Amino acid sequence: MKKILALLMAGAMAACALAGCGGASNDADSDWAYIQGKGALKIGITYFEPMNYKDANGELTGFETEFAKAVCEELGVTPDFQEIEWDSKEIELNSKTIDCIWNGMTITDERKETMDISTPYMENKQVMVCKAENAEKFASADGVKGAKVVAEAGSAGEEVAKENEFFKEAEYLAVDAQSKALLEVKSGTSDIALIDYVMSIGTLREGSDYADLKVIESESFAPEQYGIAFRKGSDTDEKVNEAITKLVENGKLKEIAEKYSLGELLIAK
């Protein structure tokens, strides 16, 4: 009888050990558990107004910055913003240099295949920006012939520049940030910048450094939606989606969007 009891106890202990191992394995496979363990969410960004940028005091601010901070507060982790090269964003994500891409990222079918993406939260499109005196000239495909067009490498703007018939006879130049695309046009080294519409709202306002530039309103391209990207198979997107829902319900997300004149583009309402 003692032998039988001993065997039963040994079996029970083995089962508990296996269950414990299973739990550890599940935690090891959980991206959210990894982030919770660090206590911080590393957020990959580039700088462009009104999404993520430095204010007059050198402090990081913007719609995405405040949005991310509000989500992290809901989740009980600290936001850790990391500047990245946009063209290398997926490499940064998969190497765990960052935990998500939160920077006005366009949702595409191709990106869905390699990353998990949050609920869409904002609409956007690609627009042409040029010096105000050239806006009428570049309003047609004929006017764009031979023009120097610039966009951020790896962006939706680059895809438009390379694939849209409107620009088939233009010269294309890639730079590593949308802000540099605007600088190219302002300095006269390029004629047209293809940038996010939301960026034009933040940067081309009266009194800004780019007040002499203008959006060509007769043409826009690639209507799109923004999402937050995570590693493929991550369970973090579920947590973030839950937090976004709370921010929608309590009105916080709308409040942040309206602060940066983006309220009308907000999808998550």
**CA 94 to CA 99: how far, in whole Å?**
8
pLDDT given at position 27: 60
Whether the Cβ atoms of residue 57 and residue 96 lie closer than 8 Å to each other: no
Indicate if 124-224 has the same CATH topology as 31-123+225-265.
yes
- The DSSP H or E segment spanning 183 is helix 178-187
- Give CA–CA dist 62/47, Å, rounded: 9
* Domain 124-224: which CATH number of 3.30.465.10, 3.30.160.40, 3.40.190.10, 3.90.78.10: 3.40.190.10
Taking residues 62-88, report their average pLDDT. Answer: 96
Domain boundaries, the chain: 31-123+225-265, 124-224
The pLDDT tens digits for 229-249 are 999 999 999 999 999 999 999
State the chain's mean pLDDT as an integer. 90
- Residue 15, pLDDT score: 42
Least confident of 38-42, 104-108, 159-163: 104-108
CATH architecture of 31-123+225-265: 3-Layer(aba) Sandwich (3.40)
pLDDT of 156 above 80: yes
Place 202 in a pLDDT band, splitting at 50, 70 and 90. Answer: confident
